[in-house]
Structure 1
């Protein structure tokens, strides 16, 4: 298990750090001054909260403890737990509200905002270790677990479904990367997720799959870059990440596309980078990007 954990998490962290250089910039400005190399190597909440999730699972003998997850998220916010420089760096509004609610004694199941304005990518960016858990526990209730972990900070069904689709793709890559090309694995993962949802999710949840219609009908892969949004909206982030994966042929190429889409570049690149790392492997990540990653040793240690 350790190899694919390291591949996925380092792929994510490098994407996060590379994306910091384009975060908030417009796509037009990046055409004139694109991000091509790692400079500061500073990673943000995407990597920190992923590491919090992974550390919780590993240190609890691969058992899921939702209270422990939220405690670690809060420890990151308050004390800089699992950060590159000892302080929380970057935090989405929905995640911040959920953690403040938790610190103020709100019951776990009511911490996360639930309205349609809280459909950011803050649970998508940290959910990958849950797929590692599910690989080790194939009998577990996949939908319920992903929904519960997402809902610690992002309780809207749109966020749950995005996490579910993403984890299914990650699982497909982990299991079958030697047998199929990446474009095929992306499709297989989404088909598997939709089939599973029809069996285990209720009708109301399934109706909400319309948010992801361009991923499900595969039309997203045929779009031009101009038609791809890279905002912090969970649907945009997942679409952009999958588009970058399907339209490139290496980790480097995928990440440079993801970063230079601009806007919420760090999370788009983190999500794309995690899946690219799983598929292409550790050796595909440019050495100079890995070398420039701040506090890489801690990331490797958490990965085990």
Structure 2
């Protein structure tokens, strides 16, 4: 499992840092001045919150402790815990509100906003360590674990379902990386998730899968770039990441496609980079990108 952890987390962190240079830029601007190499190497909240999640699992003997997770997230926001330079410089509004509610004394289950306007990608970007945890857990634990961890900051069902689809794809890559091409693994993972959700989730929850219709019917992979959005909306982020993964043939190519979509480029690249890292492996990540990554020793230490 350790190799998958290191591959996935470094793949995510490099994508986050590479994409940060393109965050907020339009696709049109990036066509003329694309990001091709690592700039400052600073990773943002995507990597920091992922490391908080992984550290919590490892330091609690691979048991889920929701209070510990929120304590670490709050420590990140207040004190720069698990940041490249001891400073927080990118915070999602929904995550910030949930953590402020938590430090203000709200019960854990009431911290996260629950309306449809709070369906950002803030739980998707940090959920990967939960899949590593679930590798050794019964299948019956998957839905509850993913839902509860997402709902610490993002409680809307759309966020739960996006995280579940993503984790199922990660699981499929881990289990069958040597047997199938990546595009096939993406389809298998999504199909598996839909089948499992029909068995373990409430019917009302399953009905909300319509948000991800283009992922579930696999039409997203054949869309032109003009129909792929790269906003901070969780559906857009997942679609964009899967589209990049399915239409490229290496870690480098995948990440450059993801980054140069623009808008919320760091998170799209982090999500795509995590799965590309698991599939292609550590050696596929360009050496110069790894060399430019700030505070890589912290990332490696947390990965164990």
Q: Deviations over 1:116-145 (max 9, x none)?
A: 000000000000000000002235510011
Deviation at 1:39, TM superposition (A): 1.3
Tell me which residue corresponds to 2:296: 296
Tell me which residue corresponds to 1:276: 276
Local SS of the residue matching 2:220: helix
Q: State the superposition RMSD in angstroms.
A: 0.6
Structure 1 unaligned residues grouped into runs of 5+? none
Local SS of the residue matching 1:136: coil
CA contact (8 A) 2:113 2:153 kept: yes
Tell me which residue corresponds to 1:61: 61
Question: Residues of 2 paired with 1:19 and 1:136: CA distance?
Answer: 32
CA contact (8 A) 2:140 2:200 kept: no
Tell me which residue corresponds to 1:195: 195
Question: Residues of 1 paired with 2:4 and 2:52: CA distance?
Answer: 18
Deviation at 1:89, TM superposition (A): 2.3
Tell me which residue corresponds to 1:116: 116
Tell me which residue corresponds to 1:22: 22
Taking the TM superposition and a 5 Å limit, the aligned residue runs for 1:246-257 are 246-257=246-257
Question: Residues of 2 paired with 1:62 and 1:145: CA distance?
Answer: 13
CA contact (8 A) 2:98 2:113 kept: yes
Taking the TM superposition and a 5 Å limit, the aligned residue runs for 1:22-61 are 22-61=22-61
Question: Residues of 1 paired with 2:72 and 2:87: CA distance?
Answer: 14
Tell me which residue corresponds to 2:130: 130
Q: Deviations over 1:221-248 (max 9, x none)?
A: 0100111000000000000000000000
Tell me which residue corresponds to 2:10: 10
CA contact (8 A) 2:16 2:270 kept: yes
CA contact (8 A) 2:24 2:262 kept: yes
Task: Give the TM-score, by structure 2 length.
Answer: 0.99
Question: Residues of 1 paired with 2:56 and 2:89: CA distance?
Answer: 20
Moved over 2 A (4+): none
Tell me which residue corresponds to 1:166: 166
Local SS of the residue matching 1:252: helix
Tell me which residue corresponds to 1:81: 81
CA contact (8 A) 2:248 2:254 kept: yes
Deviation at 1:6, TM superposition (A): 0.1
Taking the TM superposition and a 5 Å limit, the aligned residue runs for 1:210-289 are 210-289=210-289
Local SS of the residue matching 1:160: helix
CA contact (8 A) 2:49 2:73 kept: yes
Local SS of the residue matching 1:85: coil
Question: Residues of 1 paired with 2:4 and 2:89: CA distance?
Answer: 26
Task: Give the TM-score, by structure 1 length.
Answer: 0.99
Question: Residues of 2 paired with 1:218 and 1:261: CA distance?
Answer: 20
Moved more, 292-301 or 129-138: 129-138
Structure 2 unaligned residues grouped into runs of 5+? none
Question: Residues of 1 paired with 2:229 and 2:105: CA distance?
Answer: 37
CA contact (8 A) 1:134 1:140 kept: no
CA contact (8 A) 1:20 1:266 kept: yes
Local SS of the residue matching 2:180: coil
Question: Residues of 1 paired with 2:89 and 2:120: CA distance?
Answer: 17
Question: Residues of 1 paired with 2:230 and 2:3: CA distance?
Answer: 30
Local SS of the residue matching 1:141: helix
Tell me which residue corresponds to 2:141: 141
Question: Residues of 1 paired with 2:89 and 2:238: CA distance?
Answer: 22
